[in-house]
Every structure is written in C-alpha cells, then in structure tokens.
C-alpha cells in the first residue's frame, strides 16, 4: 500500500509504504500525486517512509516503479528514504549514484531529521561587493534553484545603476548542483547579467572547475581566468587591475 500524507504540499510529496505495494498503488495513488505536483512545479522532492510492516513490491509494482522513474527522470529535485530494513537501505544506496538528484537514507528514528533535510537547502550563495566594479559570488555546498532565485535578487541590488562589473566566482566550497533544475538556474543567473560583465575570475581546486573556466569564457563572452584556491588575493588583484 502507498499512502500520500495529507501534509504533503507544493513541490514536496511525503508517502508511506506498507504491506505489499502493487501496481494499482502506483497508478491510483503515487503517479497522480507526482503529476499534479509537476503540473505546478518544475521538480518535486520526495520523502518515502518505509514502515516496519513493508513486505516489498509485486512484479507489477516493480515495473511501474521503473516506468515512473524513466518518465519523470528530470522531475525529481531531491529524495529521502526513511527505513530500518537493511535491504531497503542497501538498495537505495546502490541506486543513489544513478539518480539525477541527491538521495539520502535515514532510519525511522531520524524521520524529523529527514523532513528537515528534504525541506532545507544544502548550499548557499553569498554575494559581496568588493568595491569599485568588482563583485564576489561564493557558491557553497550543493545548490538548489531557490538559492539562485535569492542570489539573482541580491546581485540585482548590488549592481544597481552600474553599466558594467567584474566578477569573482569563488568555488572553493562548491560541491555541485542539486539536480538538473539547479544547473539550469545557474546558467540563467549567468545569462541574466552577461551583457554587463567585463571580466571574470574563477577560484577553486577541482580539475572540472578549471575546465569550467574555459567553457565559461565562451558562455559569458568575456575574458576569464582561473586561479587555484590559495591565489584568491591574486584573483582579486587581477580583477581590479586595468
């Protein structure tokens, strides 16, 4: 049986699995709830509570589970599974690297912690005016689309009436994006101010960040330079020069 809890709202769906889950549970309960949420939101967050009496799926439900994942592959922003059964925890951890969104496993005693994790952002964007034409944007943790919406408003406020600016992108504590919708929001933020950007310095450690600097130069259409983490002051000086 699949039960959609009444406190599910907006882009967050909380469900509970009990007994044996059948294909009818998917078609009559879970799929309509997900599709209704996706009709109003780009992506949904799914909290799955596996009760102690859960016995597993029948073959029809297993097929429906596969179809649901494939048909809504880009529709999941984050997923949490709360379960005490070892085989359920192991199955989820094995599947997690293949999922297009962050997946976390919790025990039943950690249900409230799982609810906090599913609701809260796992990352943050800090924007600082460095003076003159220079602005620093620090990306931290794993970012979701909501953080980019806040950052866009903050960046608009700092830029004000400026005709141009120079950007320091600090990736020293950046772990990536929470799914494809966050990645899309990242590029929307960049494109929204690209016409004003004079030059950009990217500071980080990971090899992919160095590659991102080269790709970013083409996307942003301006001069970019990569600096390792220990050279952040050199990056600021490069931005301010000339």
Number of DSSP helices (H) and strands (E) in the chain, helices first: 9, 12
Question: Phi and psi for 9 in degrees, rounded to 5?
Answer: -150, 150
What CA–CA distance (Å, rounded) separates 29 from 186?
34
Q: Are 187 and 221 in contact (CB under 8 A)?
A: no
Helix (H, G, I), strand (E, B), or coil: what is residue 218? helix
Pairing outcome for strands 165-177 and 134-143: parallel
Q: What residues are paired with 106 via a beta bridge?
A: 82
Q: Where are the alpha helices (H) located in 20-144, listed in sequence order?
A: 23-25, 31-38, 59-71, 86-95, 111-119
Can you tell me the distance from the alpha carbon of 199 to that of 222, in angstroms, rounded to the nearest whole number? Answer: 6
CB 155 within 8 A of CB 188: no
Q: Please name the residue that has the structure tokens 């620093």.
A: 136
Tokens 């297009």 locate to 100
Q: Which pLDDT score is estimated for 180?
A: 47
* Cα(130)–Cα(152) distance, integer angstroms: 17
Burial 205-232, CB ≥16 within 10 A → b, else e: eeeebeebbeebbeebebebebbeeeeb
Between the alpha carbon of residue 188 and those of residues 89, 142, 171, 179, 194, the distances in Å are: 36, 17, 18, 15, 10
pTM listed for this prediction: 0.53
pLDDT of residue 207: 66
Alpha carbon distance 101, 179 (integer Å): 4
Per residue of the chain (242 residues), give pLDDT as tens. Answer: 888 885 555 678 898 998 988 888 878 888 888 888 888 877 788 899 999 988 887 666 554 555 555 455 567 778 899 999 998 899 888 888 777 778 899 999 999 989 888 887 667 788 889 988 899 988 887 776 677 777 878 888 888 778 888 988 888 887 766 554 554 555 556 556 667 788 888 888 866 555 555 555 555 566 888 898 899 999 999 999 86
């Amino acid at each position: 049986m699949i039960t959609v809890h009444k406190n599910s709202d907006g882009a967050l769906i909380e469900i509970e699995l009990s007994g044996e889950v059948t294909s009818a549970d998917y078609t009559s309960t879970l799929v309509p709830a997900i599709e209704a949420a996706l009709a109003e939101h780009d992506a949904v967050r799914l909290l799955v509570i596996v009760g102690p009496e859960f016995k597993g799926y029948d073959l029809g439900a297993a097929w429906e589970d596969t179809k649901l994942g494939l048909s809504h592959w880009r529709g999941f922003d984050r997923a949490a599974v709360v379960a005490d059964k070892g085989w359920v925890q192991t199955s989820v951890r094995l599947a997690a690297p293949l999922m297009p969104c962050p997946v976390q496993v919790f025990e039943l005693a950690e249900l409230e912690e799982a609810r906090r994790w599913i609701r809260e952002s796992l990352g943050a964007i800090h924007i600082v005016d460095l003076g003159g034409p220079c602005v620093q944007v620090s990306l931290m943790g794993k970012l979701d689309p909501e953080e980019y919406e806040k950052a866009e408003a903050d960046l608009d406020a700092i830029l004000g009436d400026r005709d141009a600016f120079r950007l320091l992108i600090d990736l020293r504590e950046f772990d990536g994006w929470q799914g494809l919708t966050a990645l899309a929001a990242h590029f929307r933020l960049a494109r929204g101010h690209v016409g004003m950007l004079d030059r950009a310095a990217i500071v980080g450690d990971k090899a992919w960040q160095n590659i991102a600097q080269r790709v970013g130069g083409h996307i942003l259409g301006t001069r970019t330079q990569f600096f390792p983490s220990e050279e952040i002051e050199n990056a600021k000086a490069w931005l301010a020069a000339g």
